[in-house]
Structure 1
Amino acid sequence: MTMAQKPSAAKTSWSMLKRRYGFTGNKKVLIGLFGVLTAALLGVAAFSQVTHGSVIPRQPSEKAQTDARSEDAAQTNTEASSQLSSQSSESSETERKKKAPSVVVYVDGAVSAPGIYTLSQAPPRLNDALEAAGGPTDEADISELNLAALIKDGEKFHVPAKGEKQAFGQSSPSGTSGTSSEANAEPSLVNLNTADEKELMSLPGIGESMAQTIVKDRLKNGPFSTPEDLMRVSGIGEKKFERIKDYVCVS
Structure 2
Amino acid sequence: MRLQPVVPVRERMRRALGVPVLAGIAVFTIAVVVAVALVWFRPHRVEAAPSAGEAGRGVAEAGRGVAETSPQRSTSNGPSDDGPRFVHVVGAVEHPGVFRMPAGARVEDAVEAAGGPTEDAVVAGVNLARAVQDGEQILIPNRSDAAEPSAGGGAASGGAGGSGGAAQIDLNQVDATGLEALPRIGPALAQRIVDWRTANDRFRSVDDLLEVPGIGEKTLDGFRDAVRVG
TM range (shorter): 0.3 to 0.5
State the TM-score, normalizing by the size of structure 2: 0.32
